[in-house]
Amino acid sequence: MTDRASIFIDGEAGTTGLGIRERLLAVPGVALRSLPEADRKNPEARRAIMGEVDLVVLCLPDAAARESAALVASLGARAPRLVDASTAHRVDPAWVYGFPELEPGQAARIAAAPRVANPGCYPTGAIALLRPLVDAGLIAPGHPVSINAVSGYSGGGKALIAEHESGAAPVFELYALGLEHKHLPEIQVYAGLSHRPIFAPAVGHYRQGMLVSIPLHLDTLPGRPTAAALHEALAARYDGQALVRVLPPTGDGKLEPQALNDTDLLELRVYANEAHRQAVLVARLDNLGKGASGAAVQCIGLMLGLTPRQPAREAAHA
């Protein structure tokens, strides 16, 4: 590798691609390569530039991401390393899942991987909450899990962004009520669940910011744990992690989704009513940060040995 790592973002004009590009411009030791707009859909031009760089980031719809991955594979020994921000390869065993905090050793696996699948925004929150508790035996793999979430509209693609910014969209909307959301497979696999969870996402009329919540009846869990035991298990898993913070519940019992906007942070909390033996696990993140572009740049940094990008700003934990 040269002194400056060369990176090509295939699909750099989209929301995630623009976010990755902006972040990489602030990282020392990176040289970004681009194609003229007229060549961005030309397979030969894309294949040529892919053969000249150290790493390619795919910010494309699933089918196009598979086609680009095939272009890279066709380069043989000249193939660059890959980070795919689409859903196409997230549960493919030939790809490493790009959540460095998933479990001990995951960051090292990402650093050594030729192909990394960037996590989805909703799965980042859900898996971060569930996986440590499953690993600790506090949630059984077969437990019937329900996940509720709300995101800003920027995570929904160009059509949804245009609908909200034109004033045509509702203030709040549940969606994917057919229970076939494309993030479900990765949530089940990487949370360590043996049964498919119920996932009910929603979109709000604000640009970015996300809450993911998981309600629990404590007496249905192995050993009937307290909320403090859940908090301690989460805190132990993420101890020393720069971007994941396990915090006490807010004093007023409220949590809004936008406090981490423009950062790459992820906050986890356990809210509970011990008298009723009920709890709600809550993750807060920027769906464009740790939920998309920030996560990709974190993986790129590991893969290329770059200085990690620090969170854009500290957020008030209120």
Task: Give the residue among 292, 288, 242, 232 at the shortest CA–CA distance from 267.
Answer: 242
What does the longest C-alpha to C-alpha distance in the chain come to? 65
What is the DSSP code (8-state) at residue 250?
P
Spatial distance between the Cα atoms of 94 and 223, rounded to a whole number of angstroms: 36
121 catalytic per annotation? yes
- The one-character DSSP state at 146 is E
Q: Which residues pair with 278 in a beta bridge?
A: 217, 273
Catalytic residue among 121, 184, 266, 297: 121
Q: Which residues of 80-112 are buried (b: 16+ CB within 10 A; e: fewer)?
A: bbbbbbbbbbbeeeebbbbbbbbbeebbebbbe
Q: In what order do the strands lie in the sheet with 266-273?
A: 172-174, 198-204, 146-152, 210-217, 278-285, 266-273, 244-246
Alpha carbons within 13 A on the beta-carbon side of 285: 33
Tokens of 92: 């493919």
Tokens of 311: 């969170």
Tokens 């696999």 found at: 189
Catalytic residues: 121
